[in-house]
Amino acid sequence: MSHSESSSGGDDFPFQMPSTGETTRKERWFRTIDRTILAPARIILSDWRGKVGVTLLIVYLFMGLAGPYLIAPPETDTAHTLVGPFEMWQYPLGTDSSGRSVLADVVHATPPMLKMVFAGGVFAVTVGSIVGMVAGYKGGRTDQALMVVTDTLMAIPGLPLVIVLAFLFEPRNPYVVGIILAIPAWSVLARSIRSQMLPLRSVEYVEANRLMGISTWKIILKDVAPNLMPYILVSFVAASRGIVFDSVALYFLGVLPTSDPNWGVTMDTAYSSGGALYSWGAAHWLLAPMLAVVLLSLGLILVSQAADKLFNPRIRARHQKTTKGGGGPVDHEPNAPAENTAR
């Protein structure tokens, strides 16, 4: 056999350097970001529901960030009362019984609502994920103690608990309001995360890391948490939608301070002071904030439905650019087998 033939054959060449299969830290970070953030984003945007939902959320984000700078705050007696929608271009959604712009009311209530949704969603997901993962991974007395706290909170009716906390603390900061509204939500998520954590703690690579003396937090954050990210993402969307409904309901009922801008306050004023429920001429005053609630909730629901595909490991692998080929997880990442169990 000639030298050229040996080189082309590859396996018989005596000076061939074996592939170590090692990856740099940058490659590992890119692979982690691609698997946990970029691939889920591609999956969501590949579905029409995800595109519509993300578009709606971007509109609300723009309205919350730039709206207060583009539209002046609502003031009384600046226009005719109860102007209908599209009758005056200065007031496209009309005015209320005090001459305030309904559009300005809706726009200036958006930033506090987004702050509540963000704070409540992050709080519920963070606390629920930590409690669920630690309880499921550690087991034993730690699991029992955490589940006693979780089950106790689940046994308490959520709405009365929130009403009592709202009366006690009288929160004005939207971030605090969001956290109070999310207190009953994290316990349900903790239970679900714990049930999915139980099979993951017995996976081979998790047991190997445990035997090598790697700390619990490193194992949970690096080996286990990426497998639960799709479920955590869907739970964040669900918790955010609950924050929207709860906050509007409590502001409408007057449980939370009615002096703060909120779509529930606008609806309460339109109902109690303007008689919008019985007068067609004032109906726009009630319908505008209701439409804002419905569209924001619709955006979250559509994103959540599009995110259902995240639980399919084949679809996730097909959207990961760090995997080879397009039909599945070819490069056999350490976390790939556990995704089936996370389902």
For the chain, give the mean pLDDT: 82
**Least-confidence region, from 17-31, 115-129, 255-269:** 17-31
Higher per-residue pLDDT: 78 or 247: 247
Other beta carbons less than 10 A from residue 252's beta carbon: 21
pLDDT at 297: 92
The gap between the terminal CA atoms of the chain, to the nearest Å, is 53
Choose among 266, 248, 12: nearest CA to 1. Answer: 12
What amino acid is encoded at 281 in this protein?
G
Task: Give dist(CA 256, CA 19) in Å, integer.
Answer: 63
Per-residue pLDDT tens over the stretch 131-156: 999 998 888 899 999 999 999 999 98
Choose among 188, 197, 192: nearest CA to 150. Answer: 188
**Is there a contact between 136 and 231 (Cβ–Cβ < 8 Å)?**
no
Confidence of residue 18 (pLDDT cuts 50, 70, 90): low
Per-residue pLDDT tens over the stretch 238-293: 899 999 999 999 999 988 888 878 999 999 999 988 888 888 888 999 999 999 99
pLDDT at 118: 94
pLDDT at 82: 86
Task: Give dist(CA 306, CA 293) in Å, integer.
Answer: 20
pTM of the model: 0.77
119 has pLDDT over 90: yes
Per-residue pLDDT tens over the stretch 196-254: 888 888 888 888 888 888 888 888 887 888 778 778 888 888 899 999 999 999 999 98
